[in-house]
Amino acid sequence: MSKIHPFTGQPSEDLFTWENAERQIFTNDDVKGVVKNVLVGPQDDAPNFIIRFFQVPVGGSTFDHAHPHEHGILILHGKAQIEIENKKFDLAPYDSVFVSGNDRHQIINVGETSLGFICVIPLEAGES
């Protein structure tokens, strides 16, 4: 059955939330303050993919990691730098990125406001 998760946030207050979307705030030292919202995924019985929205605070970053599955990423707001296999690339709103499986990668907020981006992964990747 198809599902809709209405947006309930307030961008002017730097709040990005969706009705009935799973939300996780990372609190460890490596990714302190990063917020992940699962917009479409297992909770919706989506059989093939997971769509997540990440919000990274000023000066923050995602995990520096690699895994077998690929990512599709779309920057929505803020300024980012992505490091893929020790190469750095600057990103701005509406830039898109394909990260191949097993490529070491990390996204860093290099702007003066929060960074928000969509990340799509295959369902079999789970929530990594």
| pLDDT (tens digit per residue) in 68-109 | 999 999 999 999 999 999 999 999 999 999 999 999 999 999
Q: What percent of the chain has pLDDT over 70?
A: 98
106 contacts 83 by C-beta, under 8 angstroms: yes
The answer to whether residue 69 sits within a structural domain is: yes
Q: Tell me, what CATH number does 76's domain have?
A: 2.60.120.10
The answer to whether residue 58 sits within a structural domain is: yes
The answer to whether residue 12 sits within a structural domain is: no
The pTM for the full model equals 0.94
The answer to whether residue 87 sits within a structural domain is: yes
Structural domains of the chain, count: 1
- Residue 91 structural domain: 19-125
The answer to whether residue 24 sits within a structural domain is: yes
Burial tier of 81 (Cβ tally within 10 Å: 0-12, 13-18, 19+): middle
The answer to whether residue 36 sits within a structural domain is: yes
12-66 confidence digits (pLDDT tens): 999 999 999 999 999 888 888 999 999 999 999 999 999 999 999 999 999 999 9
Q: Tell me the average pLDDT of the chain.
A: 95
The answer to whether residue 2 sits within a structural domain is: no
pLDDT at residue 128 is higher than 80: no
The answer to whether residue 23 sits within a structural domain is: yes
39 contacts 5 by C-beta, under 8 angstroms: yes
